[in-house]
Amino acid sequence: MLQNLQVEGRETSQDYSYEWVMGYPELASIEKGIPIAEFSDQIQSRDQEMEFRILRRLTETQYHNDNLYDFHPDILKLNRYNNIIPFKHSIVKLRGDEEENQRESYINADYINLINGKEKMMIATQGPVTQTIGHFWRMVSQESASMIVMLCNLKENGKVQCEQYWPRNIGDNLLIGNITINFVSQEDLGNNIIKRTLKLQEQNGEEKQVTHLQWCGWPDQGVPNHNDFNTIKELLTQILDRVLNDQKVVFHCSAGVGRTGTLISLVNLMIILTTYQSYVGNDIAKISENPEEFRISIFGVVRRLREQRWGMVHTSEQYQYVYKFIDEAIKYMFSQQQ
């Protein structure tokens, strides 16, 4: 299992920035994983703001720009933001009739790989606009996603972040093309998390159940509060339970890069930590005995994520939050045995 974890290295689907990392020892040093037994101490001397600036320089190049999906101008209105476009190599393409036009097969969404080698287990997408609600549900159905994680409110500060794409009331149905969405139940889990159960019925009679988790407490362009550690931990537990059991999860906020990218980064980083924990329990001393075997690289995970969808982890503050959360997670998961 440990050998399957990609702490550093090339993103399997495509990786322009890795050539720069390998070409400059200073960059390779930044990407090299930090031993988790030394994580708290080592991150004190890392300039995380500078790291994020380097990440942007590495992953927002002309090569990346040329790899953005080409589409007809009519499709522009299907994007919530015109500067957030899927990559050609990772875009989710909607299947349909062979004669279906580009507009009907397009959705602003990218496949994201797990850090343990399992490919396309996560999907990062924008919050649906009115014209793409049907596209969104076609994607959920096509990819057999078992969970949708929504990291925004429908409106924030008077601005629409996402159109409501599920039925308005429990018991209601919403017919979208050949798919009927039934709103089965809703539960308030506390800490601004709402859990909805939705049932999808295809025209052929096939039914699929989808869990819809919405966390309303994460501000746009911002980061969660320090007190939200347990809330994020609970979200991650539910997500890991799906993706580690080969069930796809769809993530979105408004643009599908900031809050979405930050949480997906944490998913991959927590896969590393939970794998380590399965080997050594919670004894940090065992990890200290072989520090090079138990390492973690925030820079590497975020860099590879940005090779799969443009602009993931959108701000320096969000990048630094990933460091803070993982520092807390290591302290929570591993302790010196008495």
Q: How many CA atoms lie within 13 A of 268 on its CB side?
A: 32
In which domain, by residue range, is 248 found?
2-278+286-333
* pLDDT at position 2 over 80: no
Strand partners, 201: 180, 207
Q: Within a 10 A sphere around the Cβ of 226, how many other Cβ atoms?
A: 10
pLDDT of residue 337: 43
pLDDT of residue 220: 82
Find out whether 140 and 250 touch, Cβ atoms under 8 Å: yes
90/13 Cα distance (integer angstroms) = 8
pLDDT of residue 31: 97
Across the chain, mean pLDDT equals: 94
Would you call 28 helix, strand, or coil by DSSP? helix
187/210 Cα distance (integer angstroms) = 14
* pLDDT at position 1 over 70: no
106/86 Cα distance (integer angstroms) = 10
Question: What are the pLDDT digits (tens) for 210-230?
Answer: 999 999 999 888 899 989 999
Find out whether 234 and 61 touch, Cβ atoms under 8 Å: no
The total number of structural domains that make up the chain: 1
pLDDT of residue 83: 94
pLDDT of residue 97: 61
pLDDT of residue 328: 97
Find out whether 280 and 287 touch, Cβ atoms under 8 Å: yes
pLDDT of residue 100: 65
Question: What are the pLDDT digits (tens) for 86-114?
Answer: 999 999 999 976 556 788 899 999 999 99
Residue 141 belongs to domain with CATH number: 3.90.190.10
Residue 338 lies in a domain: no
Strand partners, 148: 212, 250
Residue 113 lies in a domain: yes
Question: What are the pLDDT digits (tens) for 136-158?
Answer: 999 999 999 999 999 999 999 99
pLDDT confidence band for 123 (50 / 70 / 90): very high
What pTM, to 2 d.p., does this model score? Answer: 0.96
Mean pLDDT value across residues 26-45: 96
147-150 and 249-252 strand pairing: parallel
Q: What is the DSSP letter of 110?
A: E
